[in-house]
Amino acid sequence: MAMNIRLEHLRKEFAGTVALDDLSITFQSGKLTTLLGPSGCGKSTLLNLISGILPVSGGGIFFSDKEVTKLPPDKRNVGLVFQNYALYPHMSVCDNIAFPLEIKKVPKAKRRERAYELAQLLQISDYFERKPSQLSGGQQQRVAIARALAKEPDILLLDEPLSNLDARLRLEMREEIRRLQLKTGITTIFVTHDQEEALSISDYILLMRKGIIQQYGVPQELYDKPANSFVADFLGNPPINMFNVTVEGTDRLATEDGIVFHYPTGALEPGRKVQFGVRSEAFTVTDQADLGTPALVSNVFLNGKETLYLLQIGGQSVRATFNGSVRFGQGDTILVSVGGSHSHLFDAESGAVL
Ligand SMILES: Nc1ncnc2c1ncn2[C@@H]1O[C@H](COP(=O)(O)OP(=O)(O)OP(=O)(O)O)[C@@H](O)[C@H]1O
Ligand SMILES: [Mg+2]
């Protein structure tokens, strides 16, 4: 039975360093939540607290209605795949997968049967008798995941399980993890610092920074409605363009070097300094001289399915992608306007969306 994971005012300090601060959140039962954030933001620490490998400094952890804050790891029924997955080198694939069952004193024939089922599920049954050194990185990774699933955990925690794989294998493996998660319906937390990976396989994303929650929601929500400039900047490829601007009236923003964007500023008071975040797809080409902002095309990159334009707007380099059959070359001066849902204003100090 799938369980939710509820964290209440969770806190973790390491000798004075605060790794996680006042974290309260519920990870939904049966869903895959991605834990995303830059290196050092506390992702592994959070998994280690949930699995019980590390004690908390404060707050509580609940699996559905049961408090587990002080339970030892082996009483939590959590499957954990570490950031650097460690298989037992002297044991076969079968014995590696079955190891948690051996600890549980499951009879040998039964262990083997269960290990084989899991190997089939992860498509590694052809290598059942091999040693880890005779497997590719991706195959070893799958053994580690099968081992984590062997004890039929209520919760599966995966700490950057794909970090050692090449791009193609990584793509295949993440699809496989998603397939497996949907098939088993197990509540899963998947750690990555790859935003594209997070956007592609998650039911929910939790984005953290320096041990503090920045935003929690479905992927599209974080992309379309970022809570602050950090979230906007972290998600999206190419990264969002950020301008420091001053509000001028109800429909104009001016950059530091006097470039004007025609953009609705709502109730913001004139003269206020704000950050203007514009995703590459929010730019359109216009021929209305009074509404357009001049931009110099400084480079054009064919990027497979779309063309990426590097523009100079005032003193700033800007990345833009245009719809349809727009074609420009290096050195052209064009007029662009910004609109639609992929542009946002942020408070200059706090970064909070306005
Ligand atoms: N055992 C420890 N002792 C002291 N500080 C620690 C310890 N473990 C982690 N930290 C610190 O806690 C913070 C969070 O570390 P954590 O390993 O959770 O980050 P992370 O988000 O998993 O990063 P990465 O993406 O690099 O794996 C870091 O500042 C780290 O230096
Ligand atoms: Mg980590």
Return all residues near 31 (Cβ < 8 A) that are at least 6 apart: 187, 188, 203, 204
C-beta contacts of 265-274 below 8 A and 24+ residues apart: 265/345, 266/354, 268/345, 268/354, 271/246, 271/247, 272/246, 272/247, 273/244, 273/245, 273/246, 273/247, 273/348, 274/245, 274/246, 274/247, 274/345, 274/346, 274/347, 274/348, 274/354
CA distances from 321 to 230, 236, 305, 340, 347 (A): 22, 13, 11, 14, 26
Alpha-carbon distance of 204 to 38, in angstroms, equals: 18
Give me the mean pLDDT over the 59-86 stretch: 90
Is residue 35 located within the same domain as residue 60?
A: yes
d(CA 67, CA 62): 4
CA distance 191 to 43: 7
Q: How confident is the model at residue 237 (pLDDT cuts 50, 70, 90)?
A: confident
From the CA of 38, which ligand is nearest? 1
Q: Is 97 in the pocket of ligand 1 (CB under 6 A)?
A: no
Residue nearest to atom 11 of ligand 1 (CA): 19
Q: Which residues of 115-126 are buried (b: 16+ CB within 10 A; e: fewer)?
A: bbebbebbebbe
Residue 341: phi and psi, rounded to 5, are -85, -5
Are 221 and 245 within one domain?
no
Same-domain pairing of 227 and 256: no
For residue 227, pLDDT over 90 is answered with: yes
State whether 79 and 182 are in the same domain. yes
CATH of the domain at 130: 3.40.50.300
Residue 97 has pLDDT above 90, yes or no: yes
Among the candidates 176, 204, 234, a domain finishes at 234
Q: What pLDDT is stored for residue 165 in this prediction?
A: 73
Question: Cβ contacts of residue 196 below 8 Å, gap of 6+?
Answer: 237
**Which of the pair, 303 or 206, is modelled with greater confidence?**
206
Q: With bands split at pLDDT 50, 70 and 90, how would you rate the model's confidence at 324?
A: low
Q: Model confidence at 243, in pLDDT bands (50, 70, 90)? A: very high
Q: Is residue 352 part of a domain?
A: no
The larger pLDDT score, comparing residue 166 to residue 130, is at 130
What does the alpha-carbon distance between residue 177 and residue 180 come to, in Å, rounded to a whole number?
A: 5
pTM: 0.89
More confident residue, 288 or 295: 295
| pLDDT at residue 303 is higher than 80 | no
- 19 vs 13: CA distance, rounded Å: 6
Q: Does residue 180 sit in the same domain as residue 308?
A: no
Question: What mean pLDDT comes out for the span 204-229?
Answer: 96
Q: How far is CA 172 from CA 121, 143, 179, 271, in A?
A: 15, 15, 11, 51
Q: Does pLDDT of 144 surpass 70?
A: yes
- Residue where a domain stops, chosen among 179, 211, 234: 234
pLDDT, position 111: 94
Where in the sequence is the domain holding 253, given as residue range(s)? 241-347
* Average pLDDT of the chain, as a whole number: 91
> Is the domain of 82 the same as that of 140?
yes
What atom of ligand 1 comes closest to residue 38's alpha carbon? Answer: 25
Residue ending a domain, among 200, 234, 268, is 234
For residue 344, list its beta bridge partners. Answer: 277
132 ligand 1 Cβ < 6 A = no
Q: Which atom of ligand 1 is nearest to the CA of 208?
A: 21
CB neighbours of residue 74 within 10 Å:
12
Ligand 1 atom nearest the C-alpha of 211 is 14
Amino acid occupying residue 304: G
Query: Does any ligand 1 atom lie closer than 6 A to the CB of residue 17?
Result: yes
Please give the number of the atom of ligand 1 that sits closest to the Cα of 42. Answer: 18
Q: Which ligand is nearest to the CA of 211?
A: 1
> Any idea which residue has 């899991």 for tokens?
118
pLDDT recorded at residue 115: 94
Ligand 1 atom 28: residue of nearest CA: 40
Shared domain check, 155 and 281: no
The answer, yes or no, to whether the previous bond of 238 is cis (omega within 30 of 0) is yes
Whole-number pLDDT of residue 85: 67
> Would you call 281 helix, strand, or coil by DSSP?
helix
Residue 247 in domain: yes
* Ligand with minimal distance to 193 CA: 1
- Note whether 176 and 50 are same-domain residues: yes
Pick the ligand that lies closest to the CA of residue 40.
Answer: 1
Q: 222 and 203 in contact (C-beta within 8 Å)?
A: no
Q: In testing the pocket of ligand 1, which one of 11, 12, 43 has its CB within 8 Å of the most ligand atoms? A: 43
- Going by alpha carbons, the residue nearest to atom 4 of ligand 1 is 14
For residue 80, the CA-to-ligand 1 centroid distance in Å is: 17
Instruction: Quote the number of domains for the chain.
Output: 2
What is the rounded average pLDDT of the residues 236-256?
93
pLDDT-wise least confident of 7-21, 44-58, 315-329: 315-329
Please give the average per-residue pLDDT across 237-264, as a whole number: 93
pLDDT of residue 325: 67
Q: Is residue 57 part of a domain?
A: yes
- Average pLDDT of the segment spanning 330-343: 91
Same domain, 149 and 18: yes
pLDDT band at 52 (very low <50, low <70, confident <90, very high): very high
The percentage of residues in the chain with a pLDDT greater than 90, rounded to a whole number, is 67
Cβ(193) to ligand 1 under 6 A?
yes
Residue of 44, 48, 157 with the most ligand 1 atoms within 8 Å of its CB, for mutation? 44
Q: What is the mean pLDDT of residues 243-268?
A: 92
Ligand nearest to the CA of 45: 1
Q: What is the mean pLDDT of residues 323-335?
A: 83
> Is the pLDDT assigned to residue 177 strictly greater than 80?
yes
C-alpha 44 to ligand 2 mean position (Å):
4
92 lines ligand 1 (CB under 6 A): no
Q: Is the pLDDT of residue 354 over 90?
A: yes
Regarding the beta carbon of 41 and ligand 1, being less than 6 Å apart is answered yes
Q: Tell me the average pLDDT across 223-243.
A: 95
Residues 47-60, mean pLDDT to the nearest whole number: 96
* Mean pLDDT within 28-54: 94
